[in-house]
A and B are shown apart, each in its own frame.
Chain A
Amino acid sequence: MEYVLLYLILPLGMVLRRSSRFAHRPDPQAVSYLKLKS
């Protein structure tokens, strides 16, 4: 069951890896990584 779930979510991992949340290289253009809320 757990492995089935893993199988189902793995394609999601491909998307997540490319998302800004999981970015891992330094961004020289950015002055801050903080997400401002207000």
Chain B
Amino acid sequence: MSCTLGISAFYHDSAATLVVDGKIVAAAQEERFSRIRHDPGFPRQAIEYLLKQAGLRLDQVDNIAYYEDPAVKFRRVLSTAAVAGWSAAATYAPVLGDWLASKRRMDREVVRQLKQMGDREGRQIDVYAHHQSHAASAFFPSPFPSAAILCIDSVGEWATTTLWHGTAQGIELVAELSFPHSLGLLYSAFTYFCGFKVDSGEYKLMGLAPYGKPIYVEQILRELIDVKPDGSFRLDWTKFEFIRGEVMTGEAFETLFGGPRRLPEAPLTEREFDLAASVQKVTEMVVSGLAKTARALTGESALCMAGGVALNCVANGVVSRERTFDRLWLQPAAGDAGGSLGAALLSDRKARQVNHRELPEAVDGMSGALLGPEYSVDACGAVYQRLSQEAFDHRLSVTLEQGGVVGWFQGRMEFGPRSLGNRSILGDPRRSDTQSTMNLRIKFRESFRPFAPVVLAEHAAEYFDIVEESPYMLVVSPVAEAIRKTVPEHQSRLTGIDLLKVVRSDLPAITHVDFSARVQTVDRTRNPRFRALLERFYQHTGCPVLVNTSFNVRGEPIVNTPFEAYRCFMRTNMDVLAIGDFYLEKSQQPQFEEAVDWRETVPLD
């Protein structure tokens, strides 16, 4: 038996993955344990979970892999500091101190941290390039014997965009773009300029885009990014501030886009809607072009994707519908957390001297992304009933149909940023009030943000123009014409947030203002328990769709333990909590008191 531990850490979304003989047995992000969103620290608690899950001590782990090359990354930081010049000295001087002291050899820091956890003396770890880790995470768990691989993110060492060819022998780099020319950094710059947090709020910008018109596309293409027909691009980095450190944009953006950036939490205006729509359009153009180039350069008919930009479900939807490739597979932990998985798989293959394709035994190698911890249920002082699964699901279906909102906590936690049916909040998509109820009374988040549908896979095409499965909620598709409603004349001129007032389909809670939806298809293999609930709701109502959003409130990582689920349930206006076979109604619970108002302790995202 060969056990390999993969680690990603020290930037954002630290995580760890355990691979045994080529099989991914467990993976988790540190934020779920530390309760610090996007936690960049060493993933000690995630590693402790992996070891417990596998019944191993750390010194019994055969191989350890780190997801990026800190020495090469240091050279990039040094080069960037040199290019930035004296004007950025105050920014870079303290950072360089950190880099000189430890960051340039973060692999040694990993060894030191592992030693503190009881690892053996003289541990050697394998170090892989950032994009190599992404590419491995995209290809090896995919169901394809061979495939093109496209990785796009902000930056790792130097690479920002890479095309790979995955074959029986492994993965081979075909082409790349390097820092400072980065699609991820372009998107993050607009995220910052529109008042959202970098490396966190990009998905909000994506959700904002349908409210606007892409009127800045020409300007962006003329002033900020030169895109060639093959999707490759060059950024005019002199118009951005990220070279100089601390912030993403400055005077050049203000001149281009008519004034200073929106401050966080300030009211959104037409400008932010239009900027979001415009940068989204440019992103889709680039990703689509790169996908076509990947097809041309590799000759493959299947595409795998990873990297932070692969979480842009709208761009993924464009690639999927264009049919450049016959099949598309997206790594559910496409961001840096997934780097731990890719590095572990590379190290595992090296240790076992595998030079052929080991196809996953199931539909893919991710086990439905249900790779996190599972807990036995503790009553937590709650008032509950234990029911048979049939009675349980029936009562939940009735609650949902009557407009209730359900907290759903089952089995192993998801790996990656999406709740896929084990740590979810569920609602009825047919009700027009579900979106505002869930945004404002449950999640306490911005009203403009859309909710995603989960649908029984065999019914997906009845409700969405979807051309292939989307088990990891990473593809946005248009809502099918058959369920759309005509927008009344008096509402057709609405703009901005007022667009939310329009009922656009038979499933208004999940139909975004541009008639799109971020679909999760639920098949028979990946999550049978979640599917059983959805089937019961379908039997009860004739609707095979539910609203599925992550089990957390704004600014908080997704809940991990039953207590965190109960606490979130009691802090919000959810009606029912379903933990394992424990059925909890809010109205029957004892008073839940906390010494401090939780809103003061959870920072806004």
Contacts and interface: CB of A to CB of B under 8 A. Distances in A.
A16 B79 contact: yes
A2 B94 contact: yes
B230 interface: yes
Interface in A22-38: 22-27, 30-38
Contact of B228 (A22, A24, A31): A31
B79 A12 contact: yes
B445 interface: no
A2 to B, nearest CB: 4
Interface residues of B, number: 38
B301 interface: no
A1 B93 CA distance: 9
Contacts of A12: 79, 82
Given A30-B228, A33-B177, A37-B175, A5 B237 contact: no
A26 to B, nearest CB: 4
Given A6-B93, A6-B96, A13 B85 contact: yes
Given A5-B100, A33-B228, A38 B83 contact: no
A38 B173 contact: yes
B89 interface: yes
B82 A10 contact: yes
Interface in B280-303: 293, 297
Contacts of B84: 13
Contact of A32 (B173, B228, B235): B228
B11 interface: no
Given A22-B180, A34-B293, A3 B89 contact: yes
A37 B193 CA distance: 35
B237 A22 contact: yes
Interface string A6-20: 100110110011000
B227 to A, nearest CB: 9
Contacts of A30: 228
Interface of A: 1-3, 5-6, 9-10, 12-13, 16-17, 21-27, 30-38
Nearest to B162: A37
Nearest to A25: B236
A16 B83 contact: yes
Given A33-B232, A34-B230, A16 B82 contact: yes
B237 A24 contact: yes
Given A3-B89, A34-B175, A36-B174, 7 more contacts: A3-B93, A12-B79, A13-B83, A30-B228, A33-B228, A35-B175, A37-B173
Contacts of A35: 175-178
B296 to A, nearest CB: 11
B92 A6 contact: yes
11 contacts: A2-B96, A3-B89, A6-B86, A12-B79, A21-B178, A23-B234, A24-B180, A26-B226, A33-B233, A34-B293, A35-B175
Contacts of B175: 34-37
B78 interface: yes
A30 B228 CA distance: 8
B238 interface: yes
Interface in B77-109: 78-79, 81-86, 89, 92-94, 96-97, 100
A9 B82 contact: yes
B436 to A, nearest CB: 44
Given A22-B237, A23-B234, A33 B82 contact: no
B298 to A, nearest CB: 10
A38 to B, nearest CB: 6
A20 to B, nearest CB: 10
A26 B226 CA distance: 6
B38 interface: no
B181 interface: yes
B174 A37 contact: yes
